Amino acid sequence: MASIKEIAKLAGISMGTASFVLNGKGDQMRISKATQEKVLAAAKELGYRPNISARRLRSEGEKVVPVIAILWTLDTRVSLISRFLEGIQGTFAGQGDGFELMVQPYENSKLDKLNSLITGTRFNGAIVANASDEDIAYLENNEINVPIVLYQRKSDKYSTVSVDSYQSGVMVADLFANRGHKTSGIILPNVSSQAVRLRKEGFMDRAHSYGLQVPSNHIVSGSFSEEGGYQCVKELISKGELPSSLFTLSDQMAVGALTALYEEGIRVPQDVEIMGHDNNENTKFTIPSLSTIHLPVEEMAAACVNMLMDLIEQKVKAPVSKLFNSSFVIRQSCGGVCEDN
């Protein structure tokens, strides 16, 4: 592995300056942006990897292991991180000497505020989850100094682990059409999300091919939460006649939607069939139980870690990608057995 001395020589600056930059103190020491970029470019060219674990442990005899960061947004999707962490548990045993794990929250659409992505001084690699379109644009237009894996996003520049979100939308439209529905609606979370947009596009394109009507007044959005789904259904009802089927692009919102439908005396699935997305644990306990698209979060999380470790250890070269399949979980709210009394 390259030394700071070698990086300084390649960049044409002093070892002290190189050290300040590589330790994230370039701005503090008033080192110009041009010099900082020169140092980081040299470090990347030489394959430099800071010994972060040793720096943190400060303990003789301990094995030095990579530090992996999970960059997760500070919004309602934080509730999904428990499934992600559960998926990571099983990877510790398969990773030799292991790794350290840190969770780094960030504000949606403000990934550019995380200087550690550029300097590479806090972790050896990162899994970036829930990146907005603005976050993806930032990553695509900048050189990141640590290996990263994007979770549930597409990229030609960075490694990715995802499902075919467009196909998930197609699957739901197929199901509704095959069940004889003529009208449908969509409940969307109002987040900037590549995956959500692709689900909607897949659903709308396939619905159009069937002649399944999805008018604009049947497409509503709200907060990524149970309250958001509840308010979306109230909005739909206020607009007049409901569609006979609803695709709710998150299970959290679907739970709220079911409550609102119940309050209004609208029967599920007899009057309206509803399909969620994610297969969160609570969906099998709703009344009626929620049919949903299973997102294999646990398996995808494990794949993210394994891929990132391979990148850190230079066993593979970015970009690499792994695509998982989504699948139906059919319960009572759509396609399951429910007596029409």
Neighbours of 149 (CB within 10 A): 30
How many C-beta atoms lie closer than 10 Å to residue 31's C-beta? 17
- Other C-beta atoms closer than 10 Å to the C-beta of 319 total 14
Q: Is 329 helix (H, G, I), strand (E, B) or coil?
A: strand
Q: What is the mean pLDDT of residues 125-147?
A: 90
Q: Name the average pLDDT for the chain.
A: 87
Q: Note the pLDDT tens digit of each residue in 73-87.
A: 887 566 678 888 888
Furthest C-alpha separation in the chain: 81
Mean pLDDT check: name the lowest of 189-193, 200-204, 253-257, 264-268.
189-193
| Cα dihedral value 92, 94, 99, 104, nearest 10 | -60
More confident residue, 106 or 275: 275
Using the predicted structure, report yes or no on whether residue 119 has a pLDDT greater than 60: yes
Distance CA 171, CA 193 (A): 19
Q: According to the model, what pLDDT value does residue 200 have?
A: 97
> Angle at the Cα of 149 (from 113 to 144), degrees rounded to 5?
45
Distance separating alpha carbons of residues 6 and 222, to the nearest angstrom: 53
334 contacts 274 by C-beta, under 8 angstroms: yes
Query: Which pLDDT does position 158 carry in this prediction?
Result: 94
The pLDDT tens digits for 182-221 are 999 999 999 888 899 999 999 999 999 999 999 999 999 9
Q: Which residues contact 335 (CB under 8 A, 6 or more apart)?
A: 175, 179, 269, 273, 291, 328
Determine contact, residues 176/165, Cβ cutoff 8 Å.
no
Residues 208 and 205: their CA atoms lie apart, in Å, by 5
Tell me if 56 sits within 8 A of 67, measured CB to CB: yes
Q: 96 falls in which pLDDT band (50, 70, 90)? A: low
Which of the residue ranges 15-24, 64-73, 212-221, 236-245 would you say has the lowest mean pLDDT?
Answer: 15-24
pLDDT band at 63 (very low <50, low <70, confident <90, very high): low
Kindly report the CATH number that applies to the domain delimited by 1-48: 1.10.260.40
Average pLDDT over residues 306-311: 92
| Rounded Cα gap, residues 207 and 213, in angstroms | 7
Q: Which pLDDT does position 51 carry in this prediction?
A: 57
51-163+299-326 has which CATH code? Answer: 3.40.50.2300
Q: Are 2 and 47 in contact (CB under 8 A)?
A: yes
| Residue 238 pLDDT class (50, 70, 90 cuts) | very high
The fold of 165-295 is Rossmann fold (3.40.50)
Strand partners of residue 220: 187
Phi, psi of 268 (to 5 degrees): -120, 120
pLDDT of residue 37: 83
More confident residue, 15 or 266: 266
Q: Quick one: pLDDT at residue 46? A: 79
- Tell me which amino acid residue 168 is: S
State the pLDDT at residue 90. 73
Domains 1-48 and 51-163+299-326 share a fold: no
Select the highest-mean-pLDDT range: 16-20, 51-55, 80-84, 183-187: 183-187
Pairwise CA distance, residues 221 & 227, whole Å:
12
Where do the domains of the chain lie?
A: 1-48, 51-163+299-326, 165-295
Confidence of residue 179 (pLDDT cuts 50, 70, 90): very high
